[in-house]
Amino acid sequence: MQKKIKKSFSLLMAVAFVMQGWMLEIGQVFAASPGDVVINEVAWAGSSDSANDEWIELYNNSNQMVNLAGWVIEDDGVPGYKLSGNIAAHGYFLLERNENAVSNITADQLITAISLANSGDSLVLKDPGGAIIDKVNGGGGAWYAGDGTGKATMERIDPAAKDDVVSNWATAKVGNGSKSSVGSAIIGTPHGANSNYAGASGGPEVRFDSAKIDVNGGAQTVNVSVYVDNALDLYAYGFEIDYPTNLLSFQSAQEAAFLKADGTATAFNAALKNNSEGSLVVGNARLLNPPKGLDGSGKLFNLTFKIVGTDGLSGDLGFGGSSFIANSEGDQAAKFSPAVIKINSAETVGPVTNLKIAEGEKRYSLKLSWDADSGGTTSYIVKRKMIGGNFVTLGTVTGVDFVDEDAVNGGGKLVPGITYQYEIIAMKNNVQSAVTSISGKETRGLVGDNDRSDSVNGRDIENLARSFGSDSADEQYNPLVDTNFDGIIDGKDLMDIGANFGTTY
């Protein structure tokens, strides 16, 4: 449970007076209670790059920003680490021995005096008045957790638990994408929720599709989604998503429905950090004032990456230290779960064979059919060439035929005598085959019968008039009226009506 910081006023007055146009205000001063700020993670073993890559992370359990000016961390009774700066509500504060100890996260404070013995130290966090706010390994002796060989950090399991007990500490299980001084992956989670985090049971968790994402080596792209589970009053989020550049190249980001599920407008943005591959910055907020969030679980956004790695490579997807979620009042504690992405052996899919096209059973329809391959193809993508030359997907089917007719979303609206071109692509495990193309035309029906009434008459003239002068990009454009399929409703289409006017089918 997170406890709100007590507003005890060591200076309990706000004096305001106006004298010759000057105003002086003396504000509130907040004092922290034990457990409001805790030592949350300790990299006492350094990293695989250097024993000097030591750092200490603090976490603010309270709902208020805390000014750390005058605070100290005593190391084996010596107040050697003097603190300064502000730690945000439910925020992290990273103390680094050298700026490259965590090379891809800027230290909140640089303390070159940090020196943590591998045999164990006693760490005590005190406020300016000398009150003990938190302590770790207070009795001295060996560290509660961490790994001097594998260089994994020592993580607090529940940051809200006040007692200095070994049972509330564990060795980090995975990293969050952070790098040490020479670029090696840190087994730990600087500036982010610990990999062993178990506070606020049932609380919010931000995660990828799964902890392990397998990609077929033959695929050109991979889609990765980010979800939130057990959200409580979720109002905004900001993530720094780190990904391996030897495997992936960022292509695009698309907002999913969760944050705007009730129709509220949102402000979604995504961009590469400093326009460089490897770290993606994503942010969003509900455009409501006063703020109001949403509860529940769901997808936040989708990411598309180009596959640039080869078979057998793997790497980490993680949430960087600046990642946060916020409710209507401010930041809230959450678990950020990383993932491992792996490129498996390449799989190839052969193109469809014996592709045929014929008029369908109903007028104004074309039926495509093909032979299934023997390689276990799971689905087929059907595309049609539109005005302007682009191919648009009409559907994805698991069978070996497809009928293009008026009922097809984005398709149909076939005009007699026009030749239409189609593409069929076989798919298996997100791997696509080469394209197989075919063309055909519908010969039945009447050219100019744009209302499908089996008669060319005044209604068809009216329909043309309502679309006259529009092109394929306009809302008024009607593909049934564009009888010569040139992308504009004009006199040529009127001539087609005139040539068949009064004719019935």
**Domains of the chain with bracketed CATH:** 1-199 (2.60.40.1260), 202-347 (2.60.40.680), 353-441 (2.60.40.10), 458-500 (1.10.1330.10)
Distance in angstroms (rounded) separating the CA atoms of residues 356 and 221: 30
Distance in angstroms (rounded) separating the CA atoms of residues 88 and 149: 33
Predicted model pTM: 0.51
5: pLDDT strictly greater than 70? no
Residue 504 CA to its chain's centroid (Å): 57
Q: Are 283 and 237 in contact (CB under 8 A)?
A: yes
Instruction: Give per-residue pLDDT as tens, 171-221.
Output: 998 887 789 999 998 999 898 878 887 654 457 889 999 888 888 776 788
Per-position b or e across 126-139, b if 16+ CB within 10 A of its CB: bbeeeeebbbbbee
- CA angle, 171 as apex, 168 and 173 as ends, to 5°? 120
Query: Residue type for 407, please?
Result: A
Q: How long a stretch of residues is the chain? A: 505
Predicted local confidence at residue 199, as pLDDT: 59
Residue reference for tokens 């504690």: 333
Distance in angstroms (rounded) separating the CA atoms of residues 498 and 189: 74
Select the more confidently predicted residue: 29 or 466. 466
Average pLDDT on 368-391 reads 86
8: pLDDT strictly greater than 50? no
Per-position b or e across 372-406, b if 16+ CB within 10 A of its CB: ebeeebeebbbbbbbeeeebeebeeeeebebbbbe
Distance in angstroms (rounded) separating the CA atoms of residues 53 and 186: 10
> How many contiguous H segments (helices) and E segments (strands) does the chain have?
2, 35
Determine what percent of the chain falls in helix, strand and coil, rounding each to the nearest 5. Answer: 5, 40, 55
Contacts of 311 (CB under 8 A, 6+ apart): 217, 343, 344, 345, 346
Best CA proximity match to 45, nearest among 37, 36, 54: 54
Q: Which of 17-26, 122-131, 215-224, 335-344 is the least confident region? A: 17-26
Residue 260's φ and ψ, nearest 5 degrees, are -120, 25
Predicted local confidence at residue 432, as pLDDT: 82
Select the more confidently predicted residue: 216 or 103. 103
Contacts of 243 (CB under 8 A, 6+ apart): 177, 250, 278, 279, 280, 305, 315, 317, 341
Predicted local confidence at residue 340, as pLDDT: 87
Residue 117 CA to its chain's centroid (Å): 39
Best CA proximity match to 498, nearest among 448, 445, 463: 448
Task: Quote the mean pLDDT of the chain.
Answer: 87
pLDDT band at 338, cuts 50/70/90? confident
Instruction: Give per-residue pLDDT as tens, 105-135.
Output: 889 999 999 999 999 999 999 999 999 999 9
Average pLDDT on 58-78 reads 91
Query: Residue type for 330, please?
Result: G
Average pLDDT on 272-297 reads 94
Residue 167's φ and ψ, nearest 5 degrees, are -70, -15
Query: Residue type for 159, please?
Result: P
325: pLDDT strictly greater than 70? yes
Q: Are 302 and 223 in contact (CB under 8 A)?
A: yes
